Structure formats: structure tokens, C-alpha cells
């Protein structure tokens, strides 16, 4: 027992060290690596992935996990929790043959290239061949895991343990209906009719200045984090005290960098808040789900960052930073600009209201692909029909449509729903914090976020994956995933803005 | 045979991949890592070092090297060369017990801390205890390697294969005498009497601008390299096509960033010029010695960067970049400022003429430490006496004296001489290029460095470690290490500047 315990803790520690190395390789590739470093980098990354995978599925590791599982009653509470978590994770990993993992990695590498090429040539067919292969691989994967119920449950489980198509369908149906109802009312409003596209510019230096102010206010510690630049913003934690975020300053919308920085800082605060103490360097010191992770970024980005109170503090800051742009913009019109609803084609540029419709569209399509009710060759057409049905806009071409996201090229089927799950959770969290803290609005107005961060640490972050995501939310907010809370929030907010 | 060949090439490839990962970990630590990332980073670095060491000394690797060595006559020319090189390297590494390697790593980590503390408190005694231990470890190391001749030969060999105390003493004696003779003449000159300390400022943006111009002119490819900032400038190659340099913009001398960038770019061009083709991913694709590596940086920094012709191009560039500073400085006075001789206490701030005296001082002390003719407790006094004897200046305290370099805290005894070796080689290379290319001076005047780089590639870089350093220099320049060439160069240059 002692030997087995020593082994599993040492193994987890090593996996955590190896994971950190892999994260640095990835971060550097996206931020600073000279372009031609890519070939060597891919070999470095492959070596680290292989090492990590071999350690996870090693027979010795499994042997010790089994010994401990058979004697689970003799373990301390902490050891019990760690062993149960490990058994679940390792058992799942061991179901998948290494040969499959390699094959999957090869095909997704090629698929990423064909996806890029398809975008350049604006020709979905170039990507379709590889996407077919990926769908087949995903089915093969589900075969190894051998879950009861629909295949999509098995894919969902990789990102959102315990979540099922059945549960999600109920929430997403309600959400879709709710958003479309609000959207229809907005579209018939006078304000919508008159509203114009946001057109103003902020140079990189000013954008950078504003991003640095907001992460300072959010208490992202600069001795444990940093902000860099990459094409697509992301967060990566390469150590307990080293979690980095990125943004991009050259997007058409100059607010992109500001909101994406808030979003990524939300992820980073979560990573930095993971349980240390007795669970340091164990599987417990990790997020239980992508949806819960996203709830943290969405919370800061939308619930805080797009709120009227937040802009009471930041509108003057923006005005001072770019006086020329703001001289004709009142606080109210600025708040409306920040929250302008405008059904559009690209998910990552969508407004707060319509964003989840983009996600639900992908969810419906992915289920169809896995159930064999949708075939790859009709994807483009189905995509466009659904866009028209839900958002009332139709892509002129596949680059604006089915080719816009890279996720499928990497085999990430089942991931998209976590964006909407996180968004729903974020509204539930916000409602609960509002109930718990009567000074919340005045704190936000003064950009004083200590109590908010404190609440998140105690109720979300410090659980790591001691429970699954929905149970953490249940304990924190009184109920699990509930899209009604989010729809109510949207109604309150957007009916006011559009005077409905 | 086939199996053994496959194994050793695969092993070299993996060592090269692991090495690149370790280099990225180090680079990031010195450039971008948030301060508190240090703990996790040290574990990541330790893991990678251990992996690398275990691979090098693995019995299987050794077995295959032995099989191939026993059948060396049946191998192709290329395989012969690789196997011989590997045998030499691996045999040496295997002589040292892993237990010793770990002990050495631990003590040097502690010694670095006590060195830093000793500097803060300006108290050599704090460092002396650990330095004693390091000297003992170095002796123990020499015992494992078991070289004939003095212990220092064994330490030298790690950085400068084939170099011996006997050979170096001849060159360094000549060099010391030559420099002191020139220095004495300069000190009695009128120009020296009148010269004033360089006092001008360039903000970071301007320094950065100038650094970027010079690396562009040197053809450091920006798709295979990049320039960042760190406390101490360095070069690191983390892939065949990813070699990065750093500089520092906040030193008292605003020219520091410019010259250190040229210096590091010289190292980087060498790394980028290593043999690819059939020797890619083999031990051959590496520098044979630290001295030869330093010859490349010193060549660009001094022979090119401090030459009159170089400033014909760059003086106007500087003048245009900082017109206010240059309005009263003529070309000639600027050239003299850049080459001002000023005996001083700190090696890394020394001028071109006196630099090697700092190195020779350390060489003499290190030999004394290894021969047990100098003890650690008298180091500070001996240091100061030697400074007075060679340079005519005496440190006011140990921070300006024996505590100035970090090298000994890391166990790097035997490394300092390579700085002077590289400097001597650089003068030999410059003389040979001058003979081979009659247009050299006009090319430098126009900052056209293609032919120079081409010469270096063909005569130095592309050999990798197919020969040892001195043989490469012999083949390229007609003779091995020869300090007379460097002393002649110094005389020509400085007698002109000081009108002697």
C-alpha cells in the first residue's frame, strides 16, 4: 500500500511536470517561435505527448491504482478521492490503443492543413475528405470507450464529464427558443433599426494600456502571470505559479483585445486558484470540465465586463485614453455600443445574445454527424439553412460558414457545447453572487473585484475536480445547469437596452 | 550492424530533440517567465536533464557504440566519423557516476545562491565555503576522467578538446606581455591623458532600432531567429531553424546593447550554419569547442564591429538616429570613443585591448586552485594583487573583484580561457579573410557582409565538429592558435588610435 501510494503520487507529480513542459512548447509556438522553428517544435511536442501518454497508460501505474482500489476502505479520505479519480481517468485512457492515438494525431495534423487550404481556396471539398476520416475515427473512439447511450455522450464526456445529449437538449432547446424570442423583439425595435456598426480605432499602444489596467484591476498577479500576443487569444498554465494569457491587437474591432483579455484573465484566475495544499500535484488540482472553465472566462467577460456598472468605471478610463474618439459618445450610447446585438456569421465575433445560437447550431450538426443522420457532403448546405433559421443571416461562402472554426480539424467534436454550458453557468454564478453580496454593484462600479474573486475561489476554484462541474455549480448556486437563469438575465438586460 | 546503426542515429535524434526542449526551458526562464514560475521550472529542467543524461549513459547505447566500434572498418566514412565521435563523448560521460552528477548539481545550485548572497552582502566568505566544495568536486571529477598531465587539462578538455595548460601557457604568456606593452605605451600617450569617459544616452527604442538594423545587415534570418531581452545577453539554439539571441537595453553604456547584439548574432549565425545534410541530428552538427564558438561572436563584435570601416556605415546611421547626441562628435572622435582603452575592474565591461588580461588572470588563478598552490581563503587578496600587476587598478571590494563572475558558482572552472582563445582565433580569421578577399574593407564600409558570412560558413561553420577546433583553424587559416596574430592586430589598431 505504502509503495503503491508513493508510486501514484510520484507518477502524478511527473505527469504534472511533463504537462508543464508541453504547455511551454505550445505557448512559445503561438507567441514567439520563429516560423521555421515549426518542424523541430512538432518533434519536441510529439516526444512530450508520447512520454505523457506512456506514463498514463503504463502497466505499473495501473497495477498500483488497482492495488489501492481493491483496498480503498483502508485509505485516508484524501487518498480515496485521488485513487477514485485516477482509476476513472486511467481506465478510460487505457481503453484506447496507442496505435489509434498515433493514427488520430497523424490524421488531425493533415486535416488541419487541408482545413487551412480549404479556407484559402474557399472550397469545403478540400477539407471534406479529411473530415470524413475524422468522423470515422471519432466513431472508432466511441467504440473503444463503449459508453451506453448515443455516441455523442461519449465525446461530450471527454470535456464535460457526466453531461449527456438528453440533458443538454432540454437546456439548449429552452435557450434557443428564449434567445430567438428576444432577438425577434429586438429586431422589431426602433433602436435596432437605427443602430450603426461600431467604427472607431485604438492604436496598439492604447489597447495594450487598457488591457493592462483591466488585468491589474482583476488582480491577475504579475509575478505569476503575463500577457502576450498571439493570433488567437488563449490561456496556458505551465506551472502552479505560471499561468499566461494572450490577446491580439490587430482585429477590426478595437474592443476585441480588451474583452478577450478579460476572458482569458478569467481562465487564468481559475487556473491560479486551483487547490494547492494537500492536492497540489495531484489529478484533483485541475478543472473538472471545459464548461466550468468557460464559466470563469464568460463570467468576467460578460457578467462583469459587459455590465453597466463595469463601464461606470471604465468608460472614463477609455475616454481619457482616447479623448478624440469619445468626445461625441455619451455613457449610455457607449454602453449600448458595447452590447449592440447584430446577428452575424462568425461565432467568435458574435454579440452576447446571439453567441449561443452559433454553439447550438454546431451541437445539432455534430449530433447528426455522429448519429449518421447528417453526412459530410451536405454539411455546407445544412449549415447555411440553420444560420438562416436561427439568425436570419446566410453565409456567402464556406469560409464565412462551415469552414470558420478549426475545432473539427483537430477532432474536437463534442467541445462546442462547453461554450454555451460555461455561458449558462456564468449567469447562474452571477445571480448567486448578487444574492450573497449586497454591495456587488457598487464594488463593480469602483472596479473593486476582491470580493468577487474571493467568492469564485471559495465556491468554484478551490474544488479543483473534487466534484464534477454540475455538482460544484449545484453546491455553489443551489441548482445545476439551468438555462432559464441565463435567458432571464438576457431579457432583463436587452429589453432595457432596446427599450422593449 | 544495421540494428546498431539505426539505434545510434535514433538515439542522437532523440537527444537533439530533448536538448532543444531543455534549451527552450532555459531561454524562457531568462526572458519571459513570471518570477514565481521558478520552482516549477527547476523541476521541469531537472527532468529534462535527467532524461538526457540517462539516454547518453544508457547501457544499450554504449553496447551499440561498442559493436560499431569493433567493426569500424566496415562502416561508411560518415558512420565512422559519427561512431568515433560518439565513442569519445559517451565513454567520457560514462566515467562519471550519476550519483556524482546529482551531487554536483545540488552543490552548484546552493553555491549560486551563496554567490548571490555574498555579492549582496559584499562578503566573499559567504561564497568561499561552497567554492571550496566545488573545487573538491572538480578534483573528484578529474579523478573519474583520469587524464594524464595536470588536472586543469581535464577541465579544459570539456570546453576545448585537445587544449592543454602547456599550449595555453605559451600563448597566454606572449599575449599578456604583448597587451601590457601596448597598454603601457597607451598610458603614456597624450590622447590617453586627455580622454574622457563616454557619456551619452540612447533610449531603449533607439537602441532597439539600431540593434535590429545591425542584425538585418548581418543576415540573421528573422524566420529562424529572434532578438529578445534578458539581464545577461545570451544565444540559445532550440532547433536547427530556431536560434535566438538576447540583449539588455538598460546598462550604463548605451553601446552595450549594440555590441552585445552583434556578439550574440555571431554565435547565432554559427549555430544556424551547422552542417545539415547527412550530419543533421548527429553529434557532428555541433561546435567542437567553446573557443571556436567564441571566435565567431568575437569576430563580428571586434574585428567587424569595432573596425573603422564598419563605422563608416554605422556612424551616419547612429547620427541620424540620435542627432542631438552626435552633433558635436566627428567620425574620428566617435571611432576613438568606441575603441577607448580604459583599464577597469569588470571583465564584461572591459575594452578590446585589456579584455584578455581579465581572462588570463582567471586562468592563472584557476590553475593555482586545481594545483593546490592557491587556496580559496587567499583568493580575494591574490585577485587584487594580480589586477594591480596586470591592469594597474585595484578593486575596492570583492563585488568588483573576485565575486564579479557567476561562472565558478556553477562549477565552470576551465571555461574562462575559451574567451581569450576565441578572441585570438577571431584575429586569425580576420587576417585570413583579408588575404582571401581584396574587397573586404569596401564591403565592410557598405555593411555588405554576404562574402564574409559565406567564408565563415565554408571554412568554419560547415565543419561542425568533424575536426577539433584547432584543426579547423589550421585548415582555414594556415596555423593553429597563435596569439602573435592578435597582438599584431592590436598594435596596428591601437598605435594608430593613440598616435604611438
Over residues A276-294, the pLDDT tens digits come to 889 999 999 999 999 999 9
**Interatomic CA distance for residues A370 and A192, integer angstroms:** 38
Q: How far is CA B451 from the centre of its chain?
A: 24
C-alpha dist (Å) from residue A348 to A75, A111, B154: 47, 21, 61
Q: H or E element: which one contains B226?
A: strand B225-229
**The Cα angle at residue A179 between residues A175 and A183, in degrees rounded to 5:** 170
C-alpha dist (Å) from residue B131 to A215, A364, B159, B371: 44, 68, 20, 15
Name the residue among B20, B223, B225 with its Cβ closest to that of A44. B20
pLDDT at B197: 78
- Kindly report the average pLDDT of chain A as a whole number: 96
Pick the catalytic residue from A160, A264, A301, A366. Answer: A264
Can you tell me the mean pLDDT for B10-19? 96
CATH architecture observed for domain B149-500: Orthogonal Bundle (1.10)
Residue B28 has pLDDT above 90, yes or no: yes
Residue B496 has pLDDT above 80, yes or no: yes
- Kindly report the average pLDDT of chain B as a whole number: 96
Is B17–A24 a contact, with Cβ atoms under 8 angstroms apart?
Answer: no
CB count in 10 Å sphere of residue B374 = 18
**Interatomic CA distance for residues B57 and A333, integer angstroms:** 70
Grid cell of B282 as nine digits: 548527429
Name the residue among A34, A44, A238 with its Cβ closest to that of B224. A34
Q: Would the CA dihedral through A476, A478, A484, A487 be positive or negative?
A: negative
Model confidence over B108-157: pLDDT tens digits?
A: 989 998 999 999 999 999 999 999 999 999 999 999 999 999 999 999 99
Model confidence over A297-332: pLDDT tens digits?
A: 999 999 999 999 999 999 999 999 999 888 889 999
Residue B196 has pLDDT above 90, yes or no: no
Residues of B in contact with A25 (CB under 8 A): 21, 24
pLDDT at A111: 92
Residue A199 has pLDDT above 80, yes or no: no
Residues of A in contact with B14 (CB under 8 A): 47
**First-last CA distance in chain B:** 66
| Strand runs labelled E in A295-365 | none
pLDDT at A196: 83
Angle between the N-to-C axes of helices B165-187 and B483-497, in degrees from 0 to 180, rounded to the nearest 10: 10
Residues of B in contact with A44 (CB under 8 A): 17, 20-21, 24, 239
pLDDT at B491: 98
pLDDT at A288: 96
Q: Which of B26, B27, B38, B43 is the best residue to mutate to test the A interface, defined by the most A CB atoms within 10 Å of its own CB?
A: B43
Strands B242-247 and B235-239: antiparallel
pLDDT at A5: 97
The answer to whether the CB of B322 falls within 8 A of the CB of B306 is no
Is A39–B241 a contact, with Cβ atoms under 8 angstroms apart?
Answer: yes
Model confidence over B278-308: pLDDT tens digits?
A: 999 999 999 999 999 999 999 999 999 999 9
Can you tell me the mean pLDDT for B153-177? 96
Grid cell of B113 as nine digits: 545562491
Nearest of A458, A446, A451 to residue A434 by alpha carbon: A451
The answer to whether the CB of B19 falls within 8 A of the CB of B52 is yes
Can you tell me the mean pLDDT for A372-384? 97
Can you tell me the mean pLDDT for B219-223? 97
B145 Cα to chain A: minimum distance (Å): 32
**The Cα angle at residue B339 between residues B338 and B342, in degrees rounded to 5:** 110
Residues of A in contact with B244 (CB under 8 A): 34
Angle between the N-to-C axes of helices A308-321 and A331-338, in degrees from 0 to 180, rounded to the nearest 10: 110
Residues of A in contact with B52 (CB under 8 A): none
C-alpha dist (Å) from residue B254 to B81, B336, B461: 46, 16, 31
The answer to whether the CB of B137 falls within 8 A of the CB of B411 is yes
Q: Would the CA dihedral through A84, A85, A87, A91 be positive or negative?
A: positive
Confidence of residue B168 (pLDDT cuts 50, 70, 90): very high
Is B35–A240 a contact, with Cβ atoms under 8 angstroms apart?
Answer: no
Partner residues linked to B236 by β-bridges: B244
Q: Which of A16, A37, A220 is the best residue to mutate to test the B interface, defined by the most B CB atoms within 10 Å of its own CB?
A: A37
The answer to whether the CB of B107 falls within 8 A of the CB of B56 is no
Nearest of A240, A166, A315 to residue A17 by alpha carbon: A240
Is B33–A242 a contact, with Cβ atoms under 8 angstroms apart?
Answer: yes
Residue B378 has pLDDT above 80, yes or no: yes
Can you tell me the mean pLDDT for B214-240? 96
The answer to whether the CB of A81 falls within 8 A of the CB of A73 is no
Q: Would the CA dihedral through A367, A368, A369, A373 be positive or negative?
A: positive
Is B32–A32 a contact, with Cβ atoms under 8 angstroms apart?
Answer: yes
Nearest of B317, B352, B298 to residue B497 by alpha carbon: B352
The answer to whether the CB of B183 falls within 8 A of the CB of B340 is no
Residues of B in contact with A29 (CB under 8 A): none
- Interface residues from chain A to B (CB-CB < 8 Å): 14, 17-18, 20-21, 24-25, 28, 32-37, 39-41, 43-44, 47-48, 221-226, 228, 238-242, 244
**The Cα angle at residue B384 between residues B381 and B388, in degrees rounded to 5:** 140
Residues of B in contact with A223 (CB under 8 A): 34-36
Pick the catalytic residue from B138, B160, B171, B264. Answer: B264
The answer to whether the CB of A406 falls within 8 A of the CB of A346 is no
Is A24–B20 a contact, with Cβ atoms under 8 angstroms apart?
Answer: no
As separate numbers, helices (DSSP H) first and strands (DSSP E) second, chain B gives 22, 3
Query: B104 in the Ramachandran plot: left (φ > 0), alpha (ψ -120 to 50) or beta?
Result: alpha
pLDDT at A328: 87
Find the DSSP H helices in B241-307: 256-272, 290-298
Grid cell of A154 as nine digits: 461519449
Is B21–A25 a contact, with Cβ atoms under 8 angstroms apart?
Answer: yes
Quick one: DSSP state of residue A240? T
Name the residue among A34, A47, A221 with its Cβ closest to that of B222. A34
Grid cell of B382 as nine digits: 591574490
CB count in 10 Å sphere of residue B211 = 22
Size (chain B), residues: 500
The answer to whether the CB of B362 falls within 8 A of the CB of B338 is no
Nearest of B350, B340, B492, B341 to residue B420 by alpha carbon: B350
Nearest of A404, A104, A406, A161 to residue A288 by alpha carbon: A161
Assign domain A150-500 one CATH number from 1.10.1370.30, 3.40.50.2300, 3.40.1350.10, 3.30.930.10.
1.10.1370.30
pLDDT at B277: 85
Per the annotation, the verdict on A138 as an active-site residue is no
Cβ contacts below 8 Å, chain A against chain B, sum to 100
Quick one: DSSP state of residue B306? T
C-alpha dist (Å) from residue A410 to A133, A283, A360, B111: 12, 25, 20, 47
Residue B319 has pLDDT above 90, yes or no: yes
Is A223–B35 a contact, with Cβ atoms under 8 angstroms apart?
Answer: yes
Strands A242-247 and A225-229: parallel
Nearest-by-CA chain B residue for A225: B34
The answer to whether the CB of A367 falls within 8 A of the CB of A417 is no
Residue A25 has pLDDT above 90, yes or no: yes
pLDDT at B422: 98
Confidence of residue B201 (pLDDT cuts 50, 70, 90): confident
Quick one: DSSP state of residue A247? E
**Interatomic CA distance for residues A178 and B439, integer angstroms:** 78
* DSSP symbols for B398-413: TTTTTTS-SGGGGT-T
Q: Would the CA dihedral through A64, A67, A69, A73 be positive or negative?
A: negative
Question: What are the domain boundaries of chain A?
Answer: 2-149, 150-500
C-alpha dist (Å) from residue A258 to A263, A347, B121: 9, 18, 45
Residue A144 has pLDDT above 90, yes or no: yes
Grid cell of A419 as nine digits: 461554450
Instruction: Provide the CB-side half-sphere exposure for B197 (13 A, CA).
Output: 8
pLDDT at A487: 98
Nearest of A3, A297, A18, A288 to residue A159 by alpha carbon: A288
Sequence-distant (≥ 6) Cβ neighbours of residue A440 within 8 angstroms: A433, A434, A451, A452
Confidence of residue A198 (pLDDT cuts 50, 70, 90): confident
**Interatomic CA distance for residues B46 and B109, integer angstroms:** 12
Q: Provide the b/e sequence for B39-57 (b: ≥16 CB within 10 Å).
A: ebbebbbebbeebbbeebb
Q: H or E element: which one contains B247?
A: strand B242-247
Instruction: Please classify residue A473 by burial: count the beta carbons closer than 10 Å to its beta carbon, then call 0-12 exposed, 13-18 middle and 19+ buried.
Output: buried
Q: Provide the b/e sequence for A297-312 (b: ≥16 CB within 10 Å).
A: bbbbbbbbbbbbbbbb
Is B24–A20 a contact, with Cβ atoms under 8 angstroms apart?
Answer: no
Amino acid at each position: 500500500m505504502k509503495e503503491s501510494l508513493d508510486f501514484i503520487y510520484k507518477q502524478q507529480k511527473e505527469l504534472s511536470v511533463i504537462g508543464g513542459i508541453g504547455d511551454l512548447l505550445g505557448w512559445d509556438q503561438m507567441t514567439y517561435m520563429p516560423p521555421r522553428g515549426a518542424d523541430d517544435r512538432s518533434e519536441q511536442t510529439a516526444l512530450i505527448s508520447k512520454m505523457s501518454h506512456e506514463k498514463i497508460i503504463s502497466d505499473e501505474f495501473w497495477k498500483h491504482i488497482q492495488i489501492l482500489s481493491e483496498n480503498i476502505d483502508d485509505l485516508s479520505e484524501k487518498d480515496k478521492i485521488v485513487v477514485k479519480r485516477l482509476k476513472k481517468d486511467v481506465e478510460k485512457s487505457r481503453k484506447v490503443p496507442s496505435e489509434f492515438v498515433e493514427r488520430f494525431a497523424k490524421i488531425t495534423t493533415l486535416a488541419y492543413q487541408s482545413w487551412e487550404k480549404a479556407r484559402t481556396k474557399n472550397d469545403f471539398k478540400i477539407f471534406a475528405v479529411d473530415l470524413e476520416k475524422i468522423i470515422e475515427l471519432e466513431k472508432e473512439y466511441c467504440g473503444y470507450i463503449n459508453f451506453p447511450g448515443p455516441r455523442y455522450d461519449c465525446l461530450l464526456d471527454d470535456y464535460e464529464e457526466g453531461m449527456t445529449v438528453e440533458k443538454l437538449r432540454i437546456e439548449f432547446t429552452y435557450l434557443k427558443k428564449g434567445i430567438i424570442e428576444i432577438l425577434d423583439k429586438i429586431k422589431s425595435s426602433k433602436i435596432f433599426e437605427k443602430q450603426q456598426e461600431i467604427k472607431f480605432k485604438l492604436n496598439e499602444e492604447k489597447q495594450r494600456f487598457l488591457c493592462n489596467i483591466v488585468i491589474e484591476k482583476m488582480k491577475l498577479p504579475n509575478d505569476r502571470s503575463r500577457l502576450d500576443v498571439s493570433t488567437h487569444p488563449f490561456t496556458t498554465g505551465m506551472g502552479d505559479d505560471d499561468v499566461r494569457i494572450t490577446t491580439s491587437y490587430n482585429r477590426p474591432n478595437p474592443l476585441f483585445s480588451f474583452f478577450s483579455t478579460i476572458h482569458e484573465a478569467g481562465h487564468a484566475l481559475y487556473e491560479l486558484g486551483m487547490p494547492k495544499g494537500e492536492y497540489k500535484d495531484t489529478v484533483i488540482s485541475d478543472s473538472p470540465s471545459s464548461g466550468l472553465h468557460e464559466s470563469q472566462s464568460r463570467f468576467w467577460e460578460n457578467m462583469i465586463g459587459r455590465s453597466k456598472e463595469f463601464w461606470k468605471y471604465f468608460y472614463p478610463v477609455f475616454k481619457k485614453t482616447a479623448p478624440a474618439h469619445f468626445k461625441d459618445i455619451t455613457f449610455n450610447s457607449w454602453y449600448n455600443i458595447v452590447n449592440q446585438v447584430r446577428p452575424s456569421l462568425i461565432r467568435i465575433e458574435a454579440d452576447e445574445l446571439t453567441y449561443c445560437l452559433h454553439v447550438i447550431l454546431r451541437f445539432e450538426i455534430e449530433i447528426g454527424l455522429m448519429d449518421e443522420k447528417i453526412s459530410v457532403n451536405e454539411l455546407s448546405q445544412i449549415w447555411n439553412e440553420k444560420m438562416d433559421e436561427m439568425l436570419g443571416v446566410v453565409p456567402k461562402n464556406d469560409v464565412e460558414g462551415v469552414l470558420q472554426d478549426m475545432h473539427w480539424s483537430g477532432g474536437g467534436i463534442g467541445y462546442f457545447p462547453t461554450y454555451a454550458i460555461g455561458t449558462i453557468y456564468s449567469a447562474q454564478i452571477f445571480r448567486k453572487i448578487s444574492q450573497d453580496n449586497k454591495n456587488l454593484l457598487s464594488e463593480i462600479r469602483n472596479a473593486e473585484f476582491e470580493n468577487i474573486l474571493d467568492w469564485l475561489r471559495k465556491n468554484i476554484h478551490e474544488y479543483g475536480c473534487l466534484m464534477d462541474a454540475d455538482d460544484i455549480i449545484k453546491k455553489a448556486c443551489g441548482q445545476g445547469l439551468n438555462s432559464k437563469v441565463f435567458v432571464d438575465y438576457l431579457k432583463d438586460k436587452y429589453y432595457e437596452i432596446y427599450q422593449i
